[in-house]
Structure 1
Amino acid sequence: MPADAERKSIFAAKLASPSRLADGVSDAIAAALFDGRIAPGEALPPEGEIAREFGVSKPIAREALRQLTSAGLVSTQQGKVARAKALSGEPMDRIYAYAVRSSLTRLQEANEMRRVIEVGIARLAAERRDPRGLEVMRQAVLDMHAGIGKPGDFTEADIQFHLGLAMATGNAMIRIQMEGMRSVQREVSELFSRRSNRTNADWLATVERHQAIYDAIAAGDTNLADRRIHEHFDAADIASLEVAGKLGGQSA
């Protein structure tokens, strides 16, 4: 970490509400994390120093760090300084994982949420075409081909494709949101991939739908990307009805 004099420039905030001091401290530290003043893996100042810098007690500083840890922005270990974590959708992913495993109804709702979100993402991805995201999508399609007949491999490639879709927007918050939906994607993909009546043609059709989405986005055709992502979710909805018929006893 920098020297004490330099550290004071990290948290550019004054605490406006004395009644919510811990919230004010955590907000200021989070702002430093989000705008890059504190890099992933970097140690935060010690608890006592944070308290002095903000003019609060150590318990207030400790509560602020606890809030940041709960949000997945900071990692803490007993007897060690807190460290910044890379921004990710991990906290949301944990919540969605509990939800989609609780009942078929929650799983269907989560997949509906995916459709609403990813349609908008596909259009923006076609407008911006971030090369890193396009490469992740391209490789994921190849991995899906290689994973035909192997549900675990196919599922991971499917998840990577949709992460690449988000990355192609060039928007870090959208990428975090997609990471937060990985448990939903995994649950849906595994259910569909493990259907006993799934034929080789079914596997290929799924890969081809992903290829079509990639092609539309790589071409920068927003309307075609919109149509292809709708077609993909229409097909998923049909498969969902089949799964629902087999698992209907799990509804909430």
Structure 2
Amino acid sequence: MPAYAADSSAEITAALGSMPAGSAVSGVATRLLDLFTSGQVAPGTRLPPERELASTLGVGRSAVREALAALEILGIVDVRPGSGTYLRGTSSELLPQTLRWGLLIGERNTAELLELRSGLEIYVARLGAARLTDRQLATLGRHVDRMRASVDDLKAFVQADLDFHHALAAGVDNQVLLDMLQVVRSLLRVWADRAVHDQAHAVRALEEHDAVYQALLRRDPDAAASAMATHMATASARLSETPRA
């Protein structure tokens, strides 16, 4: 479907339709994002006025105003006083921001986020066995060595753990996967602080990371995925059992 011209309020409001009963700021933002990422709205398009959007969606103007303010913070729209609100980028450029927003406005179900992270990490490990260069593998090895040297310093251990996972994800050269993992990790910030409770947990986590690393060194996708699945299962269990602050 062709993108709307730069000044096509009627087409945009027609495409939006009405909101389900009870929806507010997050619902408005989600509906707008669905439209923006559909490819129907060209970058630089001026959006309909707040009053028109509120009437079309069946919500108050304050909900529209707050949703647009949030989208501006994310860099999705550009609010120009006295001129209007304009879409900033193409649908592909908006994907990382909309993914982040979509997770943030939804119910933050830790169990579901853990399942998503586990699946992504396992897939990354499988890809890594085939894609990582010798230099990237050496970097992972140094992170494992840092973990080994800091089992009695949990703060340093956790940082080395995070660096290992980030380096592995970055090494598979798939920006969408990396974006998704970064979003999920940001929503599981408590993970970084509480995934390892004591030295015994650190030792076990070290063994699990080393198993992943050894499988990657052997260029064995099945073994790498299996080792990461084992690590994700124990790490997820530790976080799930941790009381919330």
> What TM-score, normalized to structure 1?
0.56
Residue type at the aligned position of 1:204: V
Q: Which runs of 5+ in 2 are unaligned?
A: 14-34, 50-64, 82-87
Q: Could you tell me how far apart the structure 2 residues matched to 1:57 and 1:107 are?
A: 35
Residues 67 and 239 (structure 1 numbering): CA distance in 2 closer, same or farther, change over 3 Å? closer
Q: Could you tell me how far apart the structure 2 residues matched to 1:15 and 1:156 are?
A: 45
Q: Could you tell me how far apart the structure 1 residues matched to 2:136 and 2:145 are?
A: 15
Q: Could you tell me how far apart the structure 1 residues matched to 2:208 and 2:231 are?
A: 6
Of 154, 164, 169 in structure 2, the residue corresponding to residue 166 of structure 1 is 169
Q: Which runs of 5+ in 1 are unaligned?
A: 1-12, 30-49
Residues 192 and 179 (structure 1 numbering): CA distance in 2 closer, same or farther, change over 3 Å? closer
- SS, match of residue 195 in structure 2: helix
* Identical amino acids, percent of aligned pairs: 22
Q: CA deviation at 1:171?
A: 0.9
- The root-mean-square deviation of aligned C-alpha atoms, in Å, is 4.5
Q: CA deviation at 1:170?
A: 1.3
Question: How many equivalent pairs are there?
Answer: 195
Is residue 158 of structure 2 the alignment partner of residue 155 of structure 1? yes
Is residue 212 of structure 2 the alignment partner of residue 209 of structure 1? no
Deviations 1:147-181 (A, max 9, x none): 42333332222222222221222111111112112
Q: Could you tell me how far apart the structure 1 residues matched to 2:123 and 2:76 are?
A: 27
Residues 70 and 225 (structure 1 numbering): CA distance in 2 closer, same or farther, change over 3 Å? same
- SS, match of residue 161 in structure 1: helix
Q: Could you tell me how far apart the structure 2 residues matched to 1:157 and 1:75 are?
A: 39
Is residue 224 of structure 2 the alignment partner of residue 221 of structure 1? no
Q: Aligned residue for 1:20? A: 12
Q: Could you tell me how far apart the structure 2 residues matched to 1:151 and 1:235 are?
A: 17
Deviations 1:107-166 (A, max 9, x none): 233212211222222112212225675455333323323442333332222222222221
Moved more, 126-135 or 207-216: 126-135
Q: CA deviation at 1:225?
A: 0.6
Q: Could you tell me how far apart the structure 2 residues matched to 1:152 and 1:75 are?
A: 40
Is residue 130 of structure 2 the alignment partner of residue 127 of structure 1? yes
Residue type at the aligned position of 2:193: E
> What TM-score, normalized to structure 2?
0.58
Moved more, 173-182 or 153-162: 153-162
Of 184, 191, 196 in structure 1, the residue corresponding to residue 194 of structure 2 is 191
Q: CA deviation at 1:223?
A: 0.9
